[in-house]
Amino acid sequence: MSTRKYTYDYPHPALTSDCVVFGFDEGELKLLLLQRANAPAKGSWALPGGCVHIKETTEAAARRVLEEKVGVGKIYLEQLYTFSEIDRDPRERVISVAYYALVKLADYKVKAGRDTENAEWFAVSQVPKLAFDHNHIVKVAIARLRGKVRYQPVGFELLPAKFTLTQLQHLYEAILGVELDKRNFRKKILGMGLLTGLDEKEKNVAHKAARFYSFDKKTYKELSAKGFNFEL
């Protein structure tokens, strides 16, 4: 046990980190689920998660879990919320500090599921019944992502380094659940000056090849230091 001193000598709840891992593929927002190999809820789908070690921050635990179970490292990760309902885990009192991650799905498509647990990407509209309170966590994560994406340039974390404006627009449409006007979208996003047009185009498409762009993170940091606010 940990050393118990001073005022904190009473039973502590267990602590875990669970992750909602978002990806974007085929015009759909997806998230990564694992099929549980052990009791409880053996066989049902659940969020990747694991216990927080005694010498580890909750974020470090989340990153470790993602590397161990999913094989993704160095990704965008942000704390979502801490879930502490008494009966959220049937075994004992377990509090979960949930994170959400944004991954460039194309990069990780192959690696997922390397562990003993079965891994699969589900469209957010087709998430099955999950173990514990994980459906609730997913709901909170989606709501958060919806809010975030409108005033922070996090969408780019879900796309490859080089992307077309149509891909970007579809991403926003999938997350926000609305249709956007092509010309207005381009005007606005290009007007911010955060995208660098590349001298490279799509290949092997049965229509006019679209230009690739990349997100200019450096410029964004400079601008936001000067009070610039990304929006929609």
Partner DNA sequence: CCAAAAGTGTTCACGTTACACCCATGT
Partner DNA sequence: ACATGGGTGTAACGTGAACACTTTTGG
User: By the criterion CB under 7 A, which residues form the site for DNA?
Assistant: 164-166, 181-184, 186-188, 201, 203-211, 231-232
Q: In the set 41, 46, 95, 127, which binds its own copies (CB under 8 A)?
A: 95
The CB-side HSE value for 65 (13 A sphere, CA atoms) comes to 29
Q: How far is CA 13 from the centre of its chain?
A: 26
The yes or no reply on residue 118 touching its own copies (CB under 8 A) is: no
- Which two structure tokens, joined as six digits, stand for 45? 């789908």
In whole angstroms, give the CA distance from residue 198 to residue 86: 52
Q: How far is the CB of 130 from its own copies (least distance, A)?
A: 18
Question: How far is C-alpha 168 from the chain's CA centre?
Answer: 16
Strand, helix or coil at 22?
A: strand
Q: Which of 43, 26, 25, 24 is nearest to 34 (CA)?
A: 43
**Judged by CB under 8 A, does residue 106 bind its own copies?**
no
Q: How far apart are CA 42 and CA 127, in angstroms?
A: 17
Of 11 and 191, the one with the shorter C-beta distance to its own copies is: 11
**Binding residues for its own copies restricted to 20-59, rule: CB under 8 A:** 38-40, 51-59
Q: How far is the CB of 167 from DNA (least distance, A)?
A: 7
Query: Please, which residue, 97 or 165, has the CB nearer to DNA?
Result: 165
CB of 83 to its own copies, least distance (A): 9
